Amino acid sequence: MTHWLARRPIFGASDKVVEGLTESWCIAKVKRLVGPLKPAVNSEYVDEFEAADILESEMFQTANMSEPRKFITSGTLRAELESLPSEYISTECMDFIESLLIIDHTKRPSAREALNHPFITGIV
Protein backbone atom coordinates (compact mmCIF):
# COMPACT_ATOMS: atom_id res chain seq x y z
CA MET A 1 0.00 0.00 0.00
CA THR A 2 2.81 2.39 0.90
CA HIS A 3 4.70 1.68 -2.33
CA TRP A 4 1.52 2.16 -4.34
CA LEU A 5 0.68 5.48 -2.68
CA ALA A 6 4.24 6.78 -2.93
CA ARG A 7 4.52 5.62 -6.54
CA ARG A 8 8.08 4.58 -5.73
CA PRO A 9 9.66 1.93 -3.53
CA ILE A 10 10.17 3.14 0.03
CA PHE A 11 11.24 -0.22 1.46
CA GLY A 12 13.77 -2.54 -0.12
CA ALA A 13 17.11 -2.06 -1.82
CA SER A 14 16.14 -0.22 -5.01
CA ASP A 15 18.24 2.80 -3.96
CA LYS A 16 21.25 0.80 -2.71
CA VAL A 17 24.58 2.51 -3.44
CA VAL A 18 26.95 -0.17 -2.14
CA GLU A 19 28.04 -3.47 -3.64
CA GLY A 20 26.48 -6.43 -1.81
CA LEU A 21 25.04 -5.84 1.67
CA THR A 22 21.46 -6.10 0.39
CA GLU A 23 20.08 -7.49 3.66
CA SER A 24 21.95 -4.89 5.71
CA TRP A 25 20.69 -2.13 3.41
CA CYS A 26 17.09 -3.26 3.87
CA ILE A 27 17.49 -3.52 7.66
CA ALA A 28 19.02 -0.01 7.74
CA LYS A 29 16.08 1.39 5.76
CA VAL A 30 13.54 -0.26 8.06
CA LYS A 31 15.39 1.24 11.04
CA ARG A 32 15.23 4.68 9.44
CA LEU A 33 11.57 4.32 8.50
CA VAL A 34 10.07 2.76 11.62
CA GLY A 35 12.66 3.20 14.36
CA PRO A 36 15.09 1.05 16.32
CA LEU A 37 15.11 -2.71 15.92
CA LYS A 38 16.18 -5.31 18.44
CA PRO A 39 19.58 -6.75 17.55
CA ALA A 40 19.53 -10.07 15.75
CA VAL A 41 19.03 -13.01 18.08
CA ASN A 42 20.05 -15.48 15.39
CA SER A 43 23.85 -15.41 15.21
CA GLU A 44 23.56 -15.83 11.44
CA TYR A 45 22.33 -12.21 11.16
CA VAL A 46 24.51 -10.39 13.70
CA ASP A 47 26.87 -9.13 10.99
CA GLU A 48 23.93 -7.90 8.90
CA PHE A 49 22.57 -5.86 11.82
CA GLU A 50 26.01 -4.43 12.60
CA ALA A 51 26.49 -3.40 8.97
CA ALA A 52 22.96 -1.93 8.98
CA ASP A 53 23.87 0.25 11.98
CA ILE A 54 26.79 1.68 10.01
CA LEU A 55 24.76 2.21 6.83
CA GLU A 56 21.94 3.89 8.75
CA SER A 57 24.17 6.36 10.58
CA GLU A 58 27.22 7.04 8.39
CA MET A 59 27.96 9.17 5.34
CA PHE A 60 30.07 8.59 2.25
CA GLN A 61 31.65 10.66 -0.50
CA THR A 62 32.93 9.72 -3.93
CA ALA A 63 35.33 11.65 -6.15
CA ASN A 64 32.49 13.11 -8.25
CA MET A 65 30.49 14.35 -5.22
CA SER A 66 30.96 17.85 -3.89
CA GLU A 67 29.69 16.96 -0.41
CA PRO A 68 29.29 13.75 1.60
CA ARG A 69 25.82 12.25 1.82
CA LYS A 70 24.13 9.67 3.98
CA PHE A 71 23.95 6.11 2.71
CA ILE A 72 20.26 5.93 3.66
CA THR A 73 18.53 9.08 2.42
CA SER A 74 14.94 8.24 3.27
CA GLY A 75 13.34 9.85 6.26
CA THR A 76 11.00 8.37 8.79
CA LEU A 77 7.90 6.64 7.49
CA ARG A 78 5.78 9.62 8.58
CA ALA A 79 8.09 12.06 6.79
CA GLU A 80 8.00 9.94 3.62
CA LEU A 81 4.20 9.74 3.74
CA GLU A 82 3.84 13.45 4.49
CA SER A 83 5.94 14.25 1.42
CA LEU A 84 3.18 12.82 -0.79
CA PRO A 85 0.58 15.17 -2.25
CA SER A 86 -2.33 15.46 0.19
CA GLU A 87 -4.79 14.18 -2.44
CA TYR A 88 -2.95 10.83 -2.37
CA ILE A 89 -2.99 10.25 1.37
CA SER A 90 -4.96 11.43 4.38
CA THR A 91 -3.78 11.73 7.96
CA GLU A 92 -6.01 8.76 8.83
CA CYS A 93 -4.34 6.69 6.10
CA MET A 94 -0.87 7.63 7.42
CA ASP A 95 -1.93 6.63 10.93
CA PHE A 96 -3.31 3.33 9.59
CA ILE A 97 -0.12 2.47 7.70
CA GLU A 98 2.07 3.37 10.67
CA SER A 99 -0.06 1.24 13.00
CA LEU A 100 0.38 -1.81 10.75
CA LEU A 101 4.16 -1.38 10.66
CA ILE A 102 4.77 -1.31 14.40
CA ILE A 103 7.62 -3.76 14.91
CA ASP A 104 6.59 -4.90 18.40
CA HIS A 105 3.75 -7.34 17.78
CA THR A 106 2.33 -6.69 21.27
CA LYS A 107 1.74 -3.04 20.30
CA ARG A 108 0.66 -3.66 16.70
CA PRO A 109 -3.12 -3.93 16.16
CA SER A 110 -4.70 -7.30 15.53
CA ALA A 111 -6.49 -7.80 12.20
CA ARG A 112 -9.83 -7.09 13.92
CA GLU A 113 -8.46 -3.90 15.50
CA ALA A 114 -6.96 -2.81 12.16
CA LEU A 115 -10.31 -3.28 10.44
CA ASN A 116 -11.85 -0.96 13.05
CA HIS A 117 -9.31 1.81 12.37
CA PRO A 118 -11.00 5.12 11.40
CA PHE A 119 -9.33 5.02 7.98
CA ILE A 120 -10.98 1.70 7.15
CA THR A 121 -14.35 2.43 8.76
CA GLY A 122 -14.44 5.77 6.96
CA ILE A 123 -14.23 4.18 3.51
CA VAL A 124 -16.54 1.21 4.05
Q: Which domain holds residue 108?
A: 90-124
CA dist 70 and 101 (Å) reads 24
Do 17 and 58 share a domain, yes or no? yes
Question: Is 84 within a domain?
Answer: no
Q: Which candidate, 38, 19, 33, 37, places its Cα nearest to that of 73?
A: 33
For the segment 12-71, what is each residue's pLDDT rounded down to a tens digit? 777 888 888 889 988 898 888 888 877 766 778 888 889 999 898 888 888 888 888 888
The reply to whether 56 and 107 lie within a common domain is no
Same domain assignment for residues 53 and 101:
no
The per-residue pLDDT for 34 is 84
User: Do 13 and 43 fall within a single domain?
Assistant: yes
**What is the total count of domains within the chain?**
2
Q: Is residue 48 part of a domain?
A: yes
67 shares a domain with 26: yes
